[in-house]
A and B are shown apart, each in its own frame.
Chain A
């Protein structure tokens, strides 16, 4: 059972544009929602994370928007740069310290 669904599968954006990746979840017990960035041949790197008690979190060019009633959250990358080209994964966790459930990933390409 896929508990976190991610879209789109791939995304092409021009330099300076906004990249938007969406995730939807089913389990209302999820209480922590991180986003990871992964470059080829590397492990996932934690980018930004949010708890369900806030609707938005911003760190630099990266923003998470969270809609608890719709069970959806999204990553916005402002002023996208070619160096942002990577695969992005959303994830969710039920209780502190337990497993992460990942989405299928979005391959982002930012053209110069």
Chain B
């Protein structure tokens, strides 16, 4: 079946602008994760959804970052007043949440560049 998809694949924006990044998880996966990967680093956790609710948002760096998953499927990561330090690859992952050990499958990521 189809894997995790993310759009856009690349996003270039000016400092101070608002951006939205979209994640479409594997069909039927109830858990959805957002990570951020800076150049040469491992992914860093941002937020985790179980169904429609954010079960853990402790990785969001500040209140400029927000994510939603209104119908328990597609999720949108929203970044307000973007800063150059927000430039990174934003990765989305999903897992079934039904069978141990809940492997996480990643999408290709959205490369965000803030100029």
Contact = CB atoms under 8 A, between A and B. Distances in A.
B100 A96 contact: yes
Contact of A46 (B44, B55, B103): B103
Interface size range on B against A:
20 to 34
Contact of A43 (B101, B103, B107): B107
Interface residues of A, number: 24
Contacts of A44: 43, 91, 106
Interface string B51-76: 00001100100000000000000000
A37 to B, nearest CB: 11
Nearest to B111: A41
Interface string B81-108: 0000000000101010100111111111
Interface in A16-48: 32, 34, 36, 41-46
Nearest to B42: A102
Contact of B103 (A42, A49, A99): A49
